[in-house]
Amino acid sequence: MSSQKRITRAYQTARKISYKDDSKFIIFSDVHRGDNSFADDFASNRNIYFHALNHYYKNDFTYCELGDGDELWENLDFKSIFYTHTNIFYLLKKFYAKGRLFRLIGNHDMVYRKQKYVEKHLYTYFDKVTGKNVPLFPGIIFTEGLILEHESSKQEVFMLHGHQADWWNYKAWKFNRFMVRAVWRQLQIFGIGDPTSPAKNFKELIKVERRTKKWITENNNILTIIGHTHRPRFPQPGEIAFFNDGSCVHPRSITGLEIENGNITLIKWNISTTEDGTLKVVRLVLEGPQKITDYKTK
Which pLDDT belongs to residue 200?
59
Neighbours of 193 (CB within 10 A): 12
Which pLDDT belongs to residue 170?
78
pLDDT of residue 220 exceeding 80, the answer is yes
In the chain, the percentage of residues whose pLDDT exceeds 90 is 76
User: Closest Cα to residue 254, out of 59, 49, 114?
Assistant: 49
DSSP 228-276: SS---B-PPTTS--EEE---S-BTTEEEEEEEETTEEEEEEEEEEE-TT
User: Closest Cα to residue 151, out of 289, 294, 16, 28?
Assistant: 16
Average per-residue pLDDT for the chain: 91
Mean pLDDT on 21-34: 96
Query: What pLDDT, in 10s, does the model give residues 150-203?
Result: 999 999 999 999 999 987 787 776 777 767 766 655 555 555 555 555 555 668
Domains and CATH numbers, the chain: 3-294 (3.60.21.10)
Query: What pLDDT, in 10s, does the model give residues 37-95?
Result: 877 889 999 999 999 999 999 999 999 999 999 999 888 889 999 999 999 999 999 99
pTM of the model: 0.92
Q: Where are the alpha helices (DSSP H) in 65-172?
A: 78-84, 86-97, 115-121, 167-170
Angle value at C-alpha 236, between 240 and 244, nearest 5 degrees: 65
Angle value at C-alpha 51, between 42 and 122, nearest 5 degrees: 60
Q: Is beta strand 242-244 parallel, antiparallel or unpaired with respect to 145-150?
A: unpaired
- Ramachandran angles phi, psi of 169, nearest 5°: -100, 0
**Rounded distance, CA 253 to CA 247, Å?**
9
